[in-house]
Structure 1
Amino acid sequence: MNWREWQRRQEVMELGGHFVSYVDWGKGPPVVLLHGIPTWSYLWSGLARALAASRRVLVPDLLGYGFSDRRDRFDRSVTRQAEVLDAWMERLGVVDAAVVGHDVGGGVAQQLAVRYPRRVSRLCLMDSVCYDAWPLALMSQLGTPGLSRKLSPERMTKLLRLGLKKKGFVKAQSAELLEGLLAPYATEVGWVSLSRNAVALNTNQTQELALKLGHLAVPTLVMWGAEDGLLPAKYGERLVWDIPGARWTQVPDAGHFVMWDSPHTVAMELFGFIEGASPVHHAQVRTVAEELWGTEAPVA
């Protein structure tokens, strides 16, 4: 499915003076898929198709991203995104869902699970921002004051494309996919909005969760690409240490965009987890964390 076909699937909901674009696909217990930066919901197009065979798959563009509201001068932080998701799920009549978050979407998922625990029946964090591991250099540069006035959308899209490829973006995938993921930001409105999204990246909003993760009572899977060059696996292992009963899965030969590098493996792991077939082995994960940080839990 190309990005234009995905966009045609999107519906639009008005929420408190803003609007959210999203895909609502399939029937069954709901699954919410959250993207990061600099992507949009199209990131999940392949996995969404597979999940929709037995699940209701809900895939929003976060505020300021993709084809959701990209007007200027509103809060785009992960905390605000979680508030919007809570209201969005309420309007959809979704009491709770399995929530899967990648990159910044993982930060939003953490905020949602901590602040609105009733909304999250299962939590999967995929190569997720966390603690003080972000924002990354490339995204920090996007938020440089005045940069959106100095560089054209075409120039910035080219730099983003080169930067992501350098970090091992979707090694086995086509240039068409990369172009589709960056398509909403190839206009002046899109580029300015992406710059504002980058400004909103705030490590404090995941650091503040460090001591709260230990109170989560939701089944959790932390999935990481073994070759993630953006967010090292040690951060995923720390999440597993901090979230009670969390399960750790590292995907071989996959980088940061694990759902595209190893789609079959990710789909099978996620299906097993959300169907409740995957056992929790927290003791094994603790051994991994002990090897990394010693006998004591890492300091937040």
Structure 2
Amino acid sequence: MKLRRKVLITVLVLLAGVLAASLRLDVSPQELEARYATAPSRFVEVDGLRIHYRDQGQGPTLLLLHGSNASLFTWEGWVRELSENYRVITLDLPGHGLTGPDARGRYTADAMVEVVEAFRARLGLEQFVLGGNSMGGSISWRYALLHPQRVTRLVLVDAAGFPRDTPAPLVFRLMRAPVVGEVLSLFSPRWVIDRNLRAVYGEPSRVTEALVEQYHALLLREGNRTATRERMRAGGDDARWKQLGELRMPTLVLWGAKDAWIPLEHGQRFARAIPGARLIVYPELGHVPMEEDAARTARELRGFLEASAPAPTGHGTL
């Protein structure tokens, strides 16, 4: 009995040590801004939020929205490729990056649409190309439906928005669960971020240590993990996707065939649902193709932007 008790105590001590090592406290905004809010980063007060954004390049305006638990840095490859000829504006959405949590809890896709509209008005943008990846893609097409006069062209990169036929990624389901979500908001070890990023990429070897560190550090920004939990619980799918056929601006759909989070079938549905939409599929890429291969995907985007706007009379795929 004494031996069994000693073994049990040893196991419990080891378990406590593992949990203690995994515990990650919030990091202050000041510390993270010193590391990541370098030029050309800016902040602007918008409707109760201090939004972190970058405004780079010159020419026609592109406004780009990142995905869940990402940040504006996911677009930096496109910025490098496009800013010589385009003005590229990126921002951290509520509950993400250096913007941090929203005191008003605006975490549904439609609520974020209105945050984007307030940001647009604050910067005085009249018309622009709007693009988004994953969650940002869902916000983009919703914005285009609600504010079509603002969007000259729409770019959807592995966009969310259709009801899922398969379970959501495990981390999302865990964050929605009572108690478990609260625990995960405290325990955010770096190896979990590393594993998730490698699952998101079509070729895991493209994930660098610097990229993992950036994602991990920004997740730990004070309030972001609580915001993530609240966002996951804010609401499920709605029926707004049934309005996609009302979109009339030229639309480009880019998709990684190895996307393990949102299957290619959803990209094909966007191409069928939006009049005149063009679908380009990358066989070797995953959920964030603009991050995985910025040069190639930006080249496709540039071709789309430079082409004369076609009349939306049919559906095209490549």
Quick check: TM above 0.5? Answer: yes
Query: What is aligned with 2:121?
Result: 90
Q: 1:203 to 1:283 in 2, by over 3 A?
A: closer
Q: Secondary structure at the match of 2:192?
A: helix
1:180 to 194, 200, 214: 214
2:236 to 162, 182, 202: 202
Query: What is aligned with 1:235?
Result: 266
Q: Over aligned residue pairs, what C-alpha RMSD do you find?
A: 2.5
Equivalent residues in 2 for 1:94-133, closer than 5 Å? 94-133=125-164
How far is 1:71 from its partner?
4.5
User: In structure 2, what is the Cα distance between the partners aligned to 1:85 and 1:123?
Assistant: 15
Q: Secondary structure at the match of 1:90?
A: helix
Asked if 1:12 is matched to 2:43, the reply is yes
Asked if 1:70 is matched to 2:101, the reply is yes
User: In structure 1, what is the Cα distance between the partners aligned to 2:295 and 2:34?
Assistant: 24
User: In structure 2, what is the Cα distance between the partners aligned to 1:170 and 1:42?
Assistant: 19
Residue deviations 1:53-78 (CA, integer Å, cap 9, x gap) = 11111101111111114155512111
How far is 1:265 from its partner?
1.5
Q: Secondary structure at the match of 1:58?
A: strand
Residue 241 of structure 2 aligns with an amino acid whose one-letter code is L
1:40 to 55, 71, 92: 71
User: In structure 2, what is the Cα distance between the partners aligned to 1:152 and 1:18?
Assistant: 22
2:59 to 25, 28, 31: 28
Is contact 1:153–1:188 with CA below 8 Å preserved after alignment? no
Q: Secondary structure at the match of 1:222?
A: strand
User: In structure 1, what is the Cα distance between the partners aligned to 2:203 and 2:119?
Assistant: 30
Q: 1:208 to 1:36 in 2, by over 3 A?
A: same
Asked if 1:272 is matched to 2:300, the reply is no
Q: Secondary structure at the match of 1:33?
A: strand
Give unpaired runs (5+ residues) of structure 2. Answer: 1-32
Q: Secondary structure at the match of 1:268?
A: helix
Query: What is aligned with 1:298?
Result: none
Query: What is aligned with 1:295?
Result: none
Q: Secondary structure at the match of 1:117?
A: coil
Residue deviations 1:165-220 (CA, integer Å, cap 9, x gap) = 2344663231211221232112452322222232235311xx3232x111111000
Give unpaired runs (5+ residues) of structure 1. Answer: 289-300
Query: What is aligned with 1:261?
Result: 292
User: In structure 1, what is the Cα distance between the partners aligned to 2:235 and 2:255?
Assistant: 21
What TM-score do you get using the length of structure 2 for normalisation? 0.80
Residue deviations 1:90-144 (CA, integer Å, cap 9, x gap) = 1211111111110000000011000011121100100011210385432232233
User: In structure 2, what is the Cα distance between the partners aligned to 1:127 and 1:65?
Assistant: 19
2:191 to 142, 158, 162: 158
Query: What is aligned with 2:176?
Result: 143
Give the number of aligned pairs. Answer: 281
Q: Percent identity, please.
A: 28
What TM-score do you get using the length of structure 1 for normalisation? 0.85
Residue 94 of structure 1 aligns with an amino acid whose one-letter code is L
Q: Secondary structure at the match of 1:54?
A: coil
User: In structure 1, what is the Cα distance between the partners aligned to 2:129 and 2:302?
Assistant: 11
User: In structure 2, what is the Cα distance between the partners aligned to 1:169 and 1:175?
Assistant: 17
